Amino acid sequence: MDFYKVYDYGDNLDPGKKIKLEHSLSFSPEGADLSPFARSGIDDLRALREKSVAAEQAVFEDLKISLMQWEHQAGMTMLLDKAIEYLRTPAIGHTSNQWRHDDANDSDEISNMVYKMWVRVYESTKYNRETQKMEPVAWYVTWDVGLNTHERQGNYIAGQREKRYTDKAAAAKYIEGRKKAFAHLFTEISPPIPQQYAKHFEVNGLLLPGYTVEGRESEKSDRTADEVLGALAGGDSAPEGKKPSVLGKLNAARIPEGAPTAPGAKRKEDIDR
């Protein structure tokens, strides 16, 4: 057909995330011959147009079925992506509950798999005209206690910024007092995580290995990944005798517009309500 041009706008598939299909047509008079249509009655043309629109609508409905099938399959791809992300999360480094000095930051740090504490003392000096030397006049103590995670924010528990002392011994005593106050956090390599902090040690809703949460029993499933996908897809991974036919899949796909297509799936309009 030379009487129209087709424009697409970057059809694209981002597996497990997004599918984009957008096409439009424009009329090309130089490739069209309207004379047979011009000799027809307008009512006849309108009737023919209604048939064409109906056929076009049928194609559109088939496309929606295919898109619903994509949604279902993309959901499983997303599930696999999130599981891979979980497994690729590196274990957090720590000092095994031992205080260590960081030369780069001139600070001291102690940590385990859950908590970390950081202490730094900044010495302020001033030039003494009598001795003609720079001499210390104040000590500023900064410390904080937080969660030992890969996150850059949201892991702060307690701390103090630049607490000023004019006596070095007093500053040292204050630091030792702070260390003792939080020493109970550093008696185990992986202490139980309080409920309010659990999400910081989860990836995609699953607690990272090696951790426990206060008051929560560990959850384990005997199912394999293939069995889970089989139950969701009802396809090649399903147990023998329970695999639906291709026709069955298509009939199952013909569900009311706007309904979720898979267990756990929610449409945006449902979420927005």
- Structure confidence by residue, pLDDT tens digits, 43-97: 999 999 999 999 999 999 999 999 999 999 999 999 999 999 999 999 999 999 9
| pLDDT band, very low/low/confident/very high, at 266 (cuts 50, 70, 90) | low
Task: Report pLDDT for 213.
Answer: 97
Question: What is the SS3 assignment for 272?
Answer: helix
pLDDT per position as a tens digit, 158-167: 999 999 999 9
Sign of CA dihedral 169, 171, 174, 180: negative
Question: What is the SS3 assignment for 73?
Answer: helix
Task: Report pLDDT for 264.
Answer: 53
Report, as an integer, the average pLDDT of 258-267.
51
Residues in the chain, overall count: 273
pLDDT per position as a tens digit, 136-154: 899 999 999 999 999 878 7
DSSP letters for 240-262 = TT-PPPHHHHHHHH---TT---S
Please give the Cα distance from 27 to 29 (Å, whole number): 6
Asked if pLDDT for residue 7 goes beyond 90, the answer is: no
Task: Report pLDDT for 10.
Answer: 84
Report, as an integer, the average pLDDT of 38-46.
94
pLDDT per position as a tens digit, 179-214: 999 999 999 999 999 999 999 999 999 999 999 999
| Contact in structure between 125 and 136 (CB atoms under 8 Å) | yes
Tell me whether residue 252 is exposed, middle or buried, using C-beta atoms within 10 angstroms of its C-beta: 0 to 12, 13 to 18, 19 or more: middle
Residue % of the chain over a pLDDT of 90: 66
| Higher-scoring residue by pLDDT: 253, 46 | 46
Report pTM.
0.74
pLDDT per position as a tens digit, 99-133: 999 888 889 999 999 999 999 999 899 988 888 88
Task: Report pLDDT for 238.
Answer: 40
pLDDT per position as a tens digit, 220-251: 788 999 988 888 877 543 434 444 433 344 34
Asked if pLDDT for residue 14 goes beyond 90, the answer is: yes
